[in-house]
Amino acid sequence: MRWALSRIVIPSFGGPVPQKPNRSSVEGTLLHELIECFERQTRNSNTDIFRPRRSLLGLVATWAKNNASNPRIDSQALAGQVRIEEILRAFGEACSHVKREERQPNVGAASGSNRTGVFNGAESWLRDPKSKLCGRADFISAGEIVDFKSGEQHDHHAEQIAFYGALYLALTGRTPTTLRLVYTATNEILDVPVPVLSELESLLAGMRRRAVLADQQVSAGELPAKPEPAKCAYCHVRGLCDKYWQSLSGSGQSENYLQASVVDYIPTTAAMIEPSALGVYVRDKVLGVPSVLHLPQEVADKVGERVGQMRMLALRANTAVEGVRFAFTRSSEIFVS
């Protein structure tokens, strides 16, 4: 469902709904780009000294410029929040794992007689010649696949790099020599055991079957959604997802909804819209608890009068015995139809 909603053309956005990055995701993107710049200069045998800080500041400026048209963020403000020193520290840690070997061209398709492509370098694409499966590894050198993580450690990271190993097998006919996860925030290194040939072949076959099934579901219009708070909170199209909003109402919603510091909210059909000199008040009940949301006049003017439905993301829920008062945050958004 997220895949489908991410590709719907929304007139107000002039295309699909753009991503809404936060500081952490921007820092992760910049770290990977900085590593790629370093590896590219090293690979080209450039005699100039690589200057990480100067390069990073240039990448930050470029990112802000390229994202200036994203209406969901203030790219200049977000770029100003980037922790330069932290990225440089993580870069220093990551570079100790970047081997300086000549990178050979990627092979777009492999056959039984030509399956010896070796992929050395940063941001290396691995594409399965027999399916739509692909992945981009952070760094590959002589069969060693390294993935840099700027955030916390999660179990699915091991599954991800094992998948890269299966793609490497599909493209080269060989198993990788090393599968390594580098957590730059904590300087931890996790060497994931390389599966034996039969296990990688089984993993690859299973992923190919899943790709075929996904194609069939899309063709049939079957777009399942599995709303889960931990995943939906970071989904950039949850404002468009009916399944997500349904999960917040009725039996799918718990009392914890009101205790969360930041919540998403959609007015019920019983909500009362009360105009005032200072804007509009939306009086409602959430799980039987009286609630109120104030829309300042400038916001109410933008929302307009012909609104069929409003969906609001990232509101502050201030709870009290008599009810809950919603307030906007810097991350709040209103989707209207």
With a CB cutoff of 8 Å and minimum separation 6, the contacts of 247 are: 227, 232, 253
pLDDT in tens, 95-152: 877 765 544 444 443 333 334 454 678 888 899 999 999 999 988 988 899 999 888 8
248-336 fold: OB fold (Dihydrolipoamide Acetyltransferase, E2P) (2.40.50)
- Give the other-Cβ count within 10 Å of 300's Cβ: 20
Please state the φ and ψ torsions of residue 155, each to the nearest 5 degrees: -60, -35
* Six token digits for residue 203: 């993993």
Pairing of strands 262-265, 188-192: unpaired
| Whether pTM exceeds 0.85 | no
Place of tokens 């900085």: 34
Q: How far apart are CA 42 and CA 19, in angstroms?
A: 32
Write down the pLDDT at residue 116: 47
How high does pLDDT run on average in the chain?
86
Pairing of strands 289-296, 323-336: parallel
pLDDT in tens, 271-326: 898 888 888 899 998 877 899 999 998 888 888 777 778 899 999 988 887 888 99
* Six token digits for residue 323: 């009810």
Portion of the chain with pLDDT greater than 90, in percent: 50
Higher local confidence (pLDDT), 204 or 260? 204
Each domain of the chain, given as residue ranges in start order, spans: 2-95, 121-220, 248-336
Higher local confidence (pLDDT), 200 or 41? 200
In eight-state DSSP terms, residue 266 is -
Residue 257 banded pLDDT, cuts 50, 70, 90: low
- Residue 85 · residue 29 · CB < 8 Å: no
Place of tokens 């993993």: 203
Which of 190, 187, 184, 132 lies closest to 159 in space, CA to CA?
190
Q: How far apart are CA 101 and CA 219, in angstroms?
A: 44
* Six token digits for residue 289: 């608890």
Helix axes 84-95, 23-43, angle to 10 degrees: 40
- Residue 122 · residue 139 · CB < 8 Å: yes
* Six token digits for residue 120: 């050395």
Pairing of strands 134-141, 272-276: unpaired
Write down the pLDDT at residue 114: 39
Task: Please give the average per-residue pLDDT across 221-227, as a whole number.
Answer: 89
pLDDT in tens, 165-174: 999 999 999 9
* Six token digits for residue 219: 């063709």
